[in-house]
Each structure stands twice: as C-alpha cells, then as structure tokens.
Amino acid sequence: MTRSLPSKLLIAFSSILLAHACYSAHEHSLLLSSTPSPHDSPSATPISGTTLPLDITLETLISVSLLLVGIISSGWELKPISLRSYAGGVESGRILLDGKKVAGLFDGLEERPGFLDVRKQRKEFADWVKTQG
Amino acid sequence: MSVSSLLNRFRSASAYPAPSESLSLSQLAPSILNLTITDTPEQWALYESLLLSTLRTADDTSARLILQRLSDRFGNDNARIMALQGIYDEATATNQSQLEEVLKNYTEVLKADPTNIPIAKRRITLLHHLSKKSEAISALTTLIDLNPTDAESWSQLAQFYFEVSMYPQAIYCLEEVLLILPNAYNVHARLGEISFVVAEGLNGSASKEVVEKLEASLRWYLRSVELCDGYLRGYYGIKMVTGKLLDSKISAGHRTIPEEKVNKLNSIATVQLNDIVAGSEKGGKGFVGYDSAEVSAAKDLLAATS
C-alpha cells in the first residue's frame, strides 16, 4: 500500500489534532477536580463540571473525521467486488497468486476434469518427449 | 516447499497442461511423497493432482505408490478412489483388450450402483476414447437424466455434439449450463463460437438465416465481455463477427442490429484488441495472463482487417 503525500500530511495533521483534543480533555478534568467548588452544597453542582467545553468536543469530532478521510483517501488497492473486474483481472493477469496466473472462475467447464482423457494426454506427452530428442 | 504452496502450484496449472509443464509438475513427485503424511485435506488434494501428473508423464511407479496411499486412507470402495484407480488402469493398459476389460469393470460397477457419478464419467470418457461416440452420447444423456444440475456433464455433452456437428443440440446443452451458472463468461464465448461456426456452415452466404446466426453469435460474445472485462476471446469474436456482418454481401434488410451500432462495436473491439496486443508485447504488468498464442492470433486478425 503506497500512500500519497497529501493524505500522509492529512493523517499526520489530524492525529496531532486528535492528540491535542485528548490532552485538553484530560487537563480540563484535572482542572475541575483540583479547584474546590465555591459553594459546598449538593444543589449547586455546576453543569459545566460534567460536560466538556464545546471547543474540545468540536476539535475531537473534526480531527476524527479528517483522520478517516485521510486514511480512506490514502491510495488503497481496493479488492474488486464486481465479477466483471475480478474476472477481467484474472484473465489479464492483473490478479496473481504467488506470481502465477489464477485459474479462471469457470475454466472447469471447459477442462472438465471428471472427463479427463488420460490416454490422449499420455500420448501427447510421449510425442513431445520424442521431439525433444 | 510447504503443502499449500505445492498445492497452489498444481492449482495454477490447467487440467490440460503443456508437456513441459506436466514434466515439471511430475518431477515434484519425490519431494511430495517424502513429506510426512499429515492427513489434511490439502495433502490429499495434492496427492490427487500429483497422481494425474505422474500418469501424464508415464511415471507409473510413483503413480502406483500415490494410489496405494490414497486407497489405504479412503478405502477401495470410495467412488472417487475408484475413479482414480480407473484412470490408472486406463493409462497403464497396453492394448485394446485390456482397455475393453477396464470398460467392462466400469459397466459392472455401474450395474451394482448406477449413482456412482465419477465411474459413470470415466466410462463415458473411455467410450469416447474408443471412438464409440454415439454410445458415449447416450450414456451421457442417461447420466444427465440422473443428475441434471451437473454443469460439467452438460458442457461435456455439448462438446460431444459439437464433434459430430450436431450444433443445435450443442447450443441447447450450453444454454443448460448457463441456467446453472449464468455468469460463466467462457461458456457465453463458446456459444458465440458455435453460432459463428453454424453461420459459416450454412450455404448461401447472404441469406436471412446466416445474418440471424451471426447476430446471435455477436450477442453471445457481447455478453461474455460484459461479464469479463478485457476478455481477449470475447473481443476477438466481436471483431470477427462484426467484420462478417459489415461484409458488403450481406443485405441490410436482414439485419436487426443497425449498421452504425455494428460499426461502433467493431471499432471498440479493435481498440481493445490493440491495447491487449500492445500491452502483451511490451510485457506490461497487467497483461501477463494472456495466452501468447491467443495474442498472436489477435495480432493476425488485426493485421488482416486493417
């Protein structure tokens, strides 16, 4: 898998952004637990203490979206999902197995191993050996 | 080499390998037989392929040993082993009477168990080999009555009918194959070829019937390239059939496909064939799968029509 430069940059940038968002969220929670609340009564639990600030949430969401875009657009060789392109790849040799041609999907219908005429093949081989000297 | 890589090596070879390929496969016999028997499905599949390769190259000692190990594991009354044993007997028979003996064995096995499909197929092949073509055809139709969803049998029957020039029957059989496997692009191309042969064989080269057959052939070929991108055989057929249809002898009145469409198809096929020929000659990365004989035939066709 070869990644193109723009998508590499995008992945790097969004990873930094995501790390930053995580760090900010961590710092925010530390800040809340270390500052004593001014009114020590159960009725005055501040709502801002349980939710993250909007900018950190946004940063997280945006960085994750950018990271996904970066990974998806980074030049994967997608596997063929239509018969047309898979069969075409097999016939032309774009799809190989261990550097060898894959047998066609329906070759069996024309080779018909159940009806193998072994004597004919044996004779062909013997003739070939004779021509090889 | 491991069992799976050896098996891939055999699987990438066709059932009709070139003699040099057969030889190199058969020469793997000592290394495969020396592997410890792990009793995995892969290993037995490998043994089966190797048995056929050694029989092709007349390495009967190895074949005997492989067959012995297979029958020790699966028993002599296993249908598949019986068929392999039959192949071995056919291959090593030295004269006509021994072959007749093998044939008699098959007939007896089938009398006891008519549903032994592998042996039924062996018997049909042997009948055909002994030039008893009509007997082979009638045995095969009986087998198809018994097992009508076996695409391989239908395809073989089409081949038998084709050999005796019974083209409508051959076409019917291949259409049955398509009912079982509608995506078989090579069978579509085969139907195109047979329709083309029929059109060539008709007398009166410009009659309505010829045009009908050529157009049928064109439709089969078109479907084959629709199912398989860059299918050399399909584009070769399209180029050839459209060339015939554009022949000035054919009167436009008989055609149901408009001339400009035929022209367009012809030029598309030319472009595709040119791409394939050029790519294969340069040894391009995406072109190694094409058969060199087919590519040179395509080149000749292009040279003849340009």
> Taking the mean position of all CA atoms in its chain, how far away is CA B183?
16
Q: What is the pLDDT of residue A44?
A: 44
Q: Verify that A54 and A98 share a domain, yes or no.
A: no
Domain match, A59 and A93 both: no
- The least confident of B73-77, B117-121, B138-142, B256-260 is B256-260
Cα separation, B13 vs A111, whole angstroms: 11
Is A91 within a domain? yes
Indicate if A61 and A21 belong to the same structural domain: yes
Cite the DSSP H helix spans in chain B.
3-12, 19-26, 29-34, 41-56, 60-74, 79-92, 96-112, 117-129, 133-146, 151-163, 167-180, 185-201, 208-227, 232-245, 259-282, 292-305
Considering A44-53, A111-120, B118-127, B287-296, the range whose residues carry the highest mean pLDDT is: B118-127
Judged against a pLDDT cut of 60, whether residue B183 lies above it is answered with yes
The Cα–Cα gap between B45 and B69 comes to: 13
Same structural domain for residues A9 and A65?
A: yes
Question: For residue A24, is it within any domain?
Answer: yes
CB atoms within 10 A of CB B209: 13
Global pTM reads: 0.81
Q: Percent of chain B having pLDDT more than 90?
A: 63
Number of domains in chain A: 2
Contacts of A128 in chain B (CB under 8 A): 19-20
Structure tokens at A18: 């995501």
Considering only CB atoms, A88 lies closest to which of B129, B230, B285, namely B230
Cα dihedral sign for B278, B280, B282, B287?
positive
Set out the domains of chain B in order of their start, with CATH numbers. 1-74 (no CATH), 98-177 (1.25.40.10)
Question: Do residue A67 and residue A15 come from a single domain?
Answer: yes
pLDDT in tens, A37-47: 555 544 444 44
Q: What is the pLDDT of residues B119-139, one digit of tens each?
A: 999 999 999 999 999 999 999
Chain-chain contact of A110 with B155 (C-beta, under 8 angstroms):
yes
Arithmetic mean of pLDDT over chain A: 83
What are the φ/ψ torsions at residue A96 (nearest 5 degrees)?
A: -125, 155
User: Confidence band (pLDDT; 50, 70, 90) for A50?
Assistant: low
- Residue A125 above 80 pLDDT? yes
Say if residues B161 and B169 touch (Cβ distance below 8 Å).
yes
Quick one: closest CA in B to A82, which residue?
A: B227
Report whether B79 contacts B70 (CB < 8 A): no
- Asked if A15 and A41 sit in the same domain, the reply is yes
Q: Band of the pLDDT at A12, cuts 50, 70, 90?
A: very high
Instruction: Please give the residue range of the domain that contains residue A18.
Output: 5-72
Query: Do residue A45 and residue A67 come from a single domain?
Result: yes
B222–chain A nearest CA distance, Å: 13
The answer to whether position A78 is within a domain reads no
Inter-chain CB pairs, A–B, below 8 Å: 140
Has residue A77 been placed in a domain? no
The answer to whether the CB atoms of A115 and B9 lie below 8 A apart is no
Instruction: Give the ipTM of the model, two decimals please.
Output: 0.81
Residue-wise pLDDT tens digits, B22-60: 888 888 888 888 888 888 888 899 999 999 999 999 999
In a domain, A99, yes or no: yes
Confidence at residue A55, expressed as pLDDT on a 0 to 100 scale? 92
Cα–Cα dist B13/A102, whole Å: 9
What is the tens place of the pLDDT at every residue in B246-261? Answer: 886 776 677 888 888 9
Beta strands in chain A (DSSP E): 96-97, 100-101
B87: Cα within 13 Å, side-chain hemisphere: 31
A103 and A58 belong to one structural domain: no
Do A66 and A96 belong to one domain?
Answer: no
Report chain B's mean pLDDT, rounded to a whole number.
Answer: 90
Instruction: Identify whether residues A100 and A123 lie together within a single domain.
Output: yes
Specify whether the CB–CB gap between B165 and B209 falls below 8 A. no
Q: What pLDDT score does B164 carry?
A: 94
Which residues on chain B are in Cβ contact (under 8 Å) with A118? 52, 55-56, 87, 90-91
